[in-house]
């Protein structure tokens, strides 16, 4: 009987440990995602300082939002959607700059928030 209790106790502990590890990793993934999003936004405004203007009319806000989405996207369908608002040359420039920055930002955030297990 005591062996059975030890086995179930050990299993319960392993389940608890697994749940705690899962919760920990979920929290780290959220922190990582927030880090990438925040740093990409900061990078966008440092790359295109003219977009940090105080203009808040609808057209400017929509254009800035499309430009930021183009800067941040890695999805080809999203690229096609958001690139329509700009010339092909400008769309490629925005996207390429964002892709280059994203790689560096993801590495930086990964080092801080994703533990090596």
- What residue numbers bound the domain in which 36 lies? 2-113
Indicate if the pLDDT at residue 89 is higher than 80.
yes
CA distance 91 to 24: 38
Q: What's the pLDDT at 117?
A: 53
**Average pLDDT for 91-111:** 88
Q: What's the pLDDT at 105?
A: 92
CA distance 88 to 86: 6
Estimate to the nearest angstrom the gap between the alpha carbon of 87 and the chain centroid.
Answer: 26
As a 3-state breakdown, the chain gives helix, strand, coil percent values, each rounded to 5, of 85, 0, 15
- Tally of domains in the chain: 1
Asked whether the whole model's pTM tops 0.75, one would answer no
**Average pLDDT for 45-72:** 75
Estimate to the nearest angstrom the gap between the alpha carbon of 34 and the chain centroid.
Answer: 6
Q: What's the pLDDT at 35?
A: 92
CB 95 within 8 A of CB 71: yes
Average pLDDT along the chain: 81
For the segment 24-43, what is each residue's pLDDT rounded down to a tens digit?
888 888 999 899 989 988 88
């Amino acid at each position: 009987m005591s062996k059975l209790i030890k086995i179930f106790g050990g299993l319960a502990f392993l389940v608890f440990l697994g749940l705690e590890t899962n919760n920990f990793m979920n929290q780290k993934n959220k922190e990582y995602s927030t880090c990438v999003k925040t740093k990409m936004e900061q990078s966008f405004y440092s790359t295109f300082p003219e977009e940090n203007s105080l203009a808040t009319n609808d057209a400017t806000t929509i254009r800035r939002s499309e430009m930021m989405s183009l800067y941040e996207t890695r999805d080809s369908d999203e690229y096609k959607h958001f690139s329509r608002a700009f010339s092909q040359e400008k769309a490629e420039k925005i996207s390429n700059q964002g892709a280059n920055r994203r790689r560096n930002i993801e590495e930086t955030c990964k080092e801080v928030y994703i533990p090596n297990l």
